[in-house]
Every structure is written in structure tokens, then in C-alpha cells.
Amino acid sequence: MTRAHHLRSPRTWLTAPLAVGTALVVTACGGSVGATGGNSGAGDTAGFDYGASQEDVDAAIADLDPVELVFQASSASPESVVAKSNTAFIEAVEERSGGKIKLDVVWGQAIAGYAEVDDALADGRVDISYTQPMYDPSHYTAYDSLIAVSGGLPQSPMAGELISNSVISDIAFQSETMKSEFEDRGLTRLLPSTANNGYYSLCTEPGTELADYDGRQVRIGASAHGELAQDLGASPVSLEYVETFEALQRNTLDCTFTPFNASIQGKFHDVAPHIGYATDQGLPRGWGAYAAGTKFQSLPLPYQQIVFDSLYQVVEQGLALAVDTNAMVIEEAKAKGGEVAEFGPEAKDVIATSNEDLMQQVVESGTLGDDLEGRMAASLEKWTGVVEELEYVDGGETSEMDEWYTEGEVDFAPISQRLFEDVVVPHRPGA
């Protein structure tokens, strides 16, 4: 495992004397999935404990009929590097079920784009899908609020990614509003957040000083990014990531605020190789979710549990990909002649002020519940400690990540297991 520099200090608004202990444990009753509860559709079929032996699982599903579910994956194709989490999830479901649950996989939003996927899940065209609630902030208000307050989380390209993704997942699962926003549409929340990179600025021309952003057309994916773009003097353009490459290529966009997972799929850095990054407060983050539709809700409880438990693969592979793709894009952007540079001091001041304003707006709105700052501080303290305990340490500066990080040398299973068991498992069907 790479060992080098220690983590940077968390921001003051997350380290104020607000810390409250966080004690999520595997046996806790943290609520269950399903629009009408964790046993929705389960009948009298008994489930099995998390971590049960394969023999116990086989016994639980022995009398159940095989089932086929349509799964719309997050990746554009099975060949993409970001397809790893999809394929690992598919294999886990089929292996754990002994082939009784077969996933009919659809790539590249072929059945329903992000604007239509909720309807497709509700009407049964898709049974399980990766979704992008950030594109519908008017409905997913709590989700949009969590994005807005994420900019103050750690920004480093390995340790910071692990801490920030853990905190986001923790707070997302705490939110009953985020859960109900899926249920209002007849959907089951499986994972309210999937691991993703921090957001970077990718531009067609170099320059990371505040003056460089004056007048730039910047693609944004979430409303919080729009406010930040305006604060930087740029003009925000709301655009789904699938349309971003062409807009950058044609110079109708100057920059995109984006995670490197999206850049790897969309090849944004081929046409916008000049990267701006943060080392303290950064751009608000953004992420997808996994949701299920009506057919999942009618499945017997053991089948629901098999699907849910297999999401561990999405967590582990997602965390690994968040770090791996950081190094990949930095290396590829440099090969294209791109500048990889930290934001200038004036731009950093604007980013910090914007993040503080966004936090205040969300706290005052109450969309993420009471004592949000205290809960985020507690979660940040916990997950910073876990990451340090497991010895995930950045090996150098972000701009040099292609030199100090090598894909495959870091084992992400320990942090993934801790995150899944502490945060996700308490919301398991039948919990």
C-alpha cells in the first residue's frame, strides 16, 4: 500500500466542537428498503443473515422459482474501465443465487436515459438501475442539498476520496427525506450514493487563476456547480455528461466541472486536457445512485437480500475506480500537453466562500435534518480515523499522482468492508 504524506486538515466548519459519536453497527435497525418496507413482496419466505454461509443461502432459496431482472448499468459499455463495478455486481448476484437470479444487462442507458429512468423503473421496463438524481433537483431536493454541502470534504486524490465518499454515504443513508424522494416515485432506494471522484475543472485552454474563469462557458451537472461557476465569473451551462465531449470539441464550452470517472467514459480530457484541482475546499461533488422498481419489491425476501448484499461490489469497485481514474486522467491529460495545476489563491477564496454560503443555505432549509454540521463533523472524524487506521495515505501532490500511484497496488477491500457493514447493511431488506 502506498504510504507517504499525511492527510490534510479538514475544514473548520466540519471540525468545530460539534462532534457527536457515530455508532452504526451491523446489527442496528436502521430502516429497510422497499416502498412499503423491507419485507415488501416477501410473503412468508424467511431471509438469511448478512454474511451467512452459501449453504444457508441455498437453503433459503431452495423452493423459489428462478427470476430474471433487467439491470441498466452505469457504464456506457462492458469494455469501459468503469464497467468493473457493474460486472462485479452482476457476477455476485448470479453466484450467490446459484444462477436463480439472472440479470439481463443493458448498457449505455439504452432503455431509458437519466431523465426517464425513474419512470422506467416504476413501470417495469427496468428493474434495477444506476440513476442520476442530480439532474432532477426539483424533486430530489435532499440529494441536491447533500451535493451542495460536499465541497468542504477532503480533496486529496486517494485518502480524501475514501474519506469523502464514506461521509457522503453515511449522511445519505441517515436522510429519511432522501429515502422518501425515491419512494414517492414508487422506487426502492438501494444505494443513495455511489463512490465517485471529487470534481475537477477540465478546460480547453490552460489557466486556473480567478481571472482565467471570467467569461468562460462552463458545463455543470448540479445546481451547486452553477452557483460556483457564477461566483468564479463564468457562465454555467447545464448539460448531461453524454453531450459534453461534442460541446467541448466544438468550443461551445470552455470547461466542464466533472469527476474523472465521467471523463474516462466521455474522453473529455482529450479535448479539455487542462485540469484545475483543489487541495483544501473544492468543488461540490456529485454522484449517482442505485434504485429498484416494482418487480424488485415483489421478490421474495431472500432474493432482495442477495441483490442488496451484492452491492458490496459496487462499493468496493467504486472506491477503487475513484482513485484509479484520478491517476489515469492526470496521466492522459499530461500526455495531451495538458496543464495540471492547483486553483490560484483568489479562486480558492471564492470556492471557500461559495461552499460556506451553500452550507448555510442547506442548514437553514432543513432538508437534511437537524444538526447537519454536527453530524457531518462526527462522520468526518470517524472516517478520517478509519482511513488513517487502515493506512491509506496520499503519496504526493495531485499533479504528480501518475508518478506516485500505481493501479492494483492498493487493496481497497478493508475500507469497503468497513463502509458497507457500518453504513449500508443496517438498511438491508428485512433489517
Instruction: Report how far Cα 246 is from the mean position of its chain's Cα atoms.
Output: 25
1 assigned to some structural domain: no
421 assigned to some structural domain: yes
Phi (first) and psi of residue 408, to 5 degrees: 95, -10
- Give mean pLDDT, residues 29-43: 39
pLDDT value, residue 43: 52
pLDDT value, residue 44: 62
68 assigned to some structural domain: yes
370 assigned to some structural domain: yes
304 assigned to some structural domain: yes
E-strand spans in 89-163?
101-106, 128-131
Q: What is the pLDDT of residues 70-87, one digit of tens each?
A: 999 999 899 988 899 999
Q: What is the pLDDT of residues 358-379, one digit of tens each?
A: 999 999 999 999 999 999 999 9
d(CA 342, CA 152): 16
Q: In total, how many domains does the chain have?
A: 1
Phi (first) and psi of residue 68, to 5 degrees: -120, 135
Phi (first) and psi of residue 133, to 5 degrees: -60, -20
Instruction: Report how far Cα 199 is from the mean position of its chain's Cα atoms.
Output: 11
Only one residue has cell 428493474, namely: 127
d(CA 67, CA 180): 27
pLDDT value, residue 341: 97
Angle of helix 159-174 relative to helix 312-335, nearest 10 degrees, comes to 140
For residue 218, the domain's CATH number is 3.40.190.170
Q: What is the pLDDT of residues 168-226, one digit of tens each?
A: 999 999 999 999 999 999 999 999 999 999 999 999 999 999 999 999 999 998 889 99
d(CA 39, CA 300): 8
pLDDT value, residue 76: 86
pLDDT value, residue 34: 37
7 assigned to some structural domain: no
Cell numbers at residue 39, please? 419485507
Amino acid at position 122, single letter: A
Cell numbers at residue 130, please? 444506476
4 assigned to some structural domain: no
334 assigned to some structural domain: yes
Strands 67-72 and 101-106: parallel
Amino acid at position 379, single letter: S
**Residues of the domain holding 176:** 12-427
pLDDT at position 344 over 70: yes
Amino acid at position 357, single letter: D
10 Å CB burial of residue 374 (0-12, 13-18, 19+) is middle
